[in-house]
Amino acid sequence: MAIRRIAKQKTEPSLSTPSTSATDDVSAYLTDAMQRTVLFLDTLLDRGNNYLLHLDQGTPPLLKFEYEVLVDGRDLPQPCNYDLLRLIAPKGMPVNLQARPVLVVDPRAGHGPGIGGFKFDSEIGMAMRAGHAVYFVTFSPEPADGQTLLTVMQAEARFLEEVIARHPQSKAKPVVIGNCQAGWAMMTVDALRPELFGPLMVVGAPVSYWAGSSKLNPMRYSGASLGGSWLASLSGDLGADRFDGVHLVENFEKLNPANTWWDKYYNLWSAVDTESQRFLEFERWWGGYIRMTGSEIESIVENLFVGNRLARGTMMAGDQAIDLHNITAPIIVFASWGDNITPPPQALDWIIDVWGDERAIATAGRTIIYVLHETVGHLGIFVGGDVARKEHDQLVTSLDVIESLPPGLYEMKLEAKVGMEHLRWEQLEPGDYTVHYEHRTMDDIRQINPEGREEEAMFSTISKVSELNAAIYKTWVRPWVKLFATRQVADAMGTLNPMRLQRQLFSDNFPLASIIHEQAKKVRANRSEIAPEHPLRQLEKKVADQISNSLNQFRDLRDAHTVASTRQLFGPNGIGAWLKPDEPDADVAHARALAELEGFRESALAHVAEGGFAEAVCRIVLAGMVSIGAFERRSLRLARLLAQLPANTRRSTGQIDWVRLLKEQARFTAVVPVEALNAIGQLLPDTASRENALALAAAVMMIEPTLANPRSEIIEFLIDTLGVDPQRVIGLARKLTESLEAPPVVKARQKTVLGRRKTRT
């Protein structure tokens, strides 16, 4: 009756006095708040029921897509709990059998699998929309006895072999997407088996664990406060060779107590009518805890979390060192400034430690691209719908260009096409964004870290302390722990963990569950909502913000204390005075890179004048793009169209592998850029070949809207040094573009720019 009276008061004009109106406002708010509370409790009951159901089902991957199991890891010679799935595309999304397959690997960091395909607007959804066959690496909650990191690496290599075997019609190797911990895991496999990989996308993946700052990721200091890796070893031993992933989830939750203890529940309660479904979907994944073997967690903590050995090149796979230099296919790194678990320095600083100099990347024929998001959090990189529709979509649809890029270090930039419709490049670059790849140096990556890298010396000392503590534990304590630890006791302790208990107890097993469900039905049938502008709703929001801010202040004080105590204990005035840190890996890598570059420079100078028409065109294009500072996606696609012209049109003979040639010439221009440009005259001995080479290069670069000056400085310089007629070069460039079997809008764009250049000439 109270609900109906409130509803009636909303529809009829109020003639009440101010005091009566205030009373009605309070009554309306209390009714709304009580109804929200009932729906809130009902949602929490659903969370508990979903948790129990998920356990009964065996904790399957939480994917929005149907699938079939292709390879069961427990059937492999070295069994593990990983499986390879083939995802079935929805109706209306045909698979292009000529397109390269995509393999998505989810992180095993305490949660169950499925975050990569949590919703349709995801990495998987974008790949399916682009016509790729998509495969998924999943895992079950319990590892196989004796499972190690090397076992998992071997299984993942076997999965890639299976994917390749299923796509003989595709000449390209699979694209691999590794999320979070799966990012570094797939980098290790790529370094050991590079012949299995196409482009590797590592998304929110920590690789340089010592990198970062006290503001970006205070979590890295926790290893010091715990004394290193010995506690992870103890946890695995207490579990009778099982480490419960719920402990990792607890660590994540401790990072942000405001969200853990207040924000996520207040957000649900305050907008329970619209927020319940999203909350339940996420909590179903968040509460799907898995376990690892003691060997796995020990290796992860010793090699990565504390030891930082992957970036340093000292991590071992059996008796073989894992060297990231061995990765030959392009690597795309996606990180975000809003990610406090894997901030950009942790995602990118390995590039400095491995390569030392950006020219070393180019001379080795490698391509590394990174993408930085401004705000999205760690999980949003994988599950954010906006991120999927923008960054992931553009990454997937740019694979052809990424493999065509000259070797080097780039940052991928996306720019909305809003307001640029007049440029009309839709056929070369469909979609809502234009993409370009800006040249980057090691200094650019160094500037990403606001506090520099000096503090990494302290983490070198912490790693040495950890090794000492681990040796003491393994020698004197582990035998006694293993003597008394049993799997039954470990399972019971895991069941009693608060993270599990809150879901188990507040489900339909709760004594008042039936009453709450019944009241929730009544509320939904007679919902009386008040507007967000209601004064008491505004007051409620202010109080909620104050509580959240208080918890954030507690977090900041806690983190500041941890940082200060760690610096004091392990810094140069503490243990660091006795356990001296190692030489910075960046310095070692830089010295090695300079020596290698000097050797390659001598070789390059001996061959700089070798080649002909095709080599000259590549050098001109490379020099032009470097002078601009970026490679445009649509420009490289235009280059592909130009490469399809008959050989006599290009004044060349036979079929030319332009991508391979562009990569080869990029190695020259990286170490001998001036000499490579000056040698163009020798590569083009006659006027006709010089004019055609300049025209072909100009046709590629003329599509660039980034040229503020309608004339390319490189083309202008070469026109002068090679002694050719500029008007004839531009006329030939026009003929080239007009002879393309290209869409009319492309021709229109090219004619406009060419005409403008001719006028200036």
For residue 289, the 8-state DSSP code is B
Share of the chain above pLDDT 90, in %: 61
The torsion of the CA quartet 255, 259, 262, 264, rounded to 10 degrees, works out to: -150
Q: Which two tokens stand for residue 327?
A: 């990765």
Report, as an integer, the average pLDDT of 285-311: 94
User: Residue 537 and residue 541: Cα distance in Å, rounded?
Assistant: 6
Q: 525-538, pLDDT tens digit by residue?
A: 999 999 999 999 99
pLDDT at 646: 56
Q: Which two tokens stand for residue 750?
A: 């090219």
The CA-atom distances, in angstroms, between 735 and each of 355, 696, 715 are 43, 10, 17
Q: 313-341, pLDDT tens digit by residue?
A: 999 999 999 999 999 999 999 999 998 88
Beta strands 331-336 and 320-321: pairing type? unpaired
pLDDT at 316: 95
Report, as an integer, the average pLDDT of 367-386: 87
Nearest residue to 43 (alpha-carbon basis) of 261, 216, 264, 259: 264
**Better-scored residue on pLDDT, 25 or 655:** 25
Q: What are phi and psi of 440, to 5 degrees?
A: -130, 155
pLDDT at 128: 92
User: Above 80 in pLDDT, residue 624?
Assistant: yes
Q: 117-149, pLDDT tens digit by residue?
A: 777 788 888 899 999 999 999 999 999 999 999
Beta strands 82-88 and 134-139: pairing type? antiparallel
User: Above 60 in pLDDT, residue 651?
Assistant: no
Choice among 286-290, 375-379, 532-536 with the minimum mean pLDDT: 375-379
Query: Do 349 and 311 meet the contact criterion of CB atoms below 8 Å apart?
Result: yes
Q: Where is 439: in which H helix or E strand?
A: strand 433-439
User: Residue 623 and residue 404: Cα distance in Å, rounded?
Assistant: 16
pLDDT at 487: 95
Nearest residue to 440 (alpha-carbon basis) of 309, 606, 582, 626: 626
Sign of the torsion formed by the C-alpha atoms of 667, 668, 671 and 673 = negative
User: Residue 391 and residue 472: Cα distance in Å, rounded?
Assistant: 47
Choice among 57-61, 688-692, 725-729 with the minimum mean pLDDT: 725-729
Helical H runs in 194-337?
222-225, 230-238, 246-255, 257-258, 264-270, 272-286, 294-300, 309-312
Beta strands 243-244 and 320-321: pairing type? unpaired
pLDDT at 712: 64
**Better-scored residue on pLDDT, 636 or 51:** 51
User: Residue 64 and residue 380: Cα distance in Å, rounded?
Assistant: 17
Nearest residue to 459 (alpha-carbon basis) of 579, 568, 306: 306
User: Above 80 in pLDDT, residue 400?
Assistant: yes
User: Residue 747 and residue 737: Cα distance in Å, rounded?
Assistant: 7
User: Residue 563 and residue 451: Cα distance in Å, rounded?
Assistant: 13
Query: Do 175 and 135 meet the contact criterion of CB atoms below 8 Å apart?
Result: no
Kindly write down the DSSP assignment for every residue of 299-339, as one continuous string: HHIIIIIIT-HHHHT--EETTEE--GGG--S-EEEEEETT-
pLDDT at 417: 74
pLDDT at 397: 85
What lies within 8 Å, CB to CB, of 129 at 6+ separation is 93, 393
Q: Where is 435: in which H helix or E strand?
A: strand 433-439
pLDDT band at 744 (very low <50, low <70, confident <90, very high): very low
Report, as an integer, the average pLDDT of 92-98: 87
User: Above 70 in pLDDT, residue 663?
Assistant: yes
For 699-721, what is the HEC assignment?
A: HHHCCCCCCCCCCCHHHHHHHHH
Q: Where is 27: in which H helix or E strand?
A: helix 18-56
Report, as an integer, the average pLDDT of 451-463: 92
User: Residue 307 and residue 85: Cα distance in Å, rounded?
Assistant: 33
Mean pLDDT of the chain: 87
Residue carrying structure tokens 């997937």: 396
pLDDT band at 221 (very low <50, low <70, confident <90, very high): confident
Share of the chain above pLDDT 70, in %: 89
User: Above 60 in pLDDT, residue 8?
Assistant: no
User: Above 70 in pLDDT, residue 593?
Assistant: yes
pLDDT at 711: 53
pTM value?
0.90
Report, as an integer, the average pLDDT of 180-185: 95
Q: Which two tokens stand for residue 78?
A: 């070295």
Select, from the ranges 43-57, 203-217, 372-386, the one with the highest average predicted confidence (pLDDT).
43-57
Report, as an integer, the average pLDDT of 675-690: 91
pLDDT at 22: 78
Q: What are phi and psi of 10, to 5 degrees?
A: -70, -30
Nearest residue to 640 (alpha-carbon basis) of 404, 294, 355: 404
Q: Which two tokens stand for residue 274?
A: 């619209």
Report, as an integer, the average pLDDT of 58-80: 93
What lies within 8 Å, CB to CB, of 121 at 6+ separation is 385, 388, 389
User: Residue 353 and residue 588: Cα distance in Å, rounded?
Assistant: 8
Q: Which two tokens stand for residue 554?
A: 């507690």
User: Residue 449 and residue 336: Cα distance in Å, rounded?
Assistant: 13
Report, as an integer, the average pLDDT of 390-419: 87
pLDDT at 222: 80
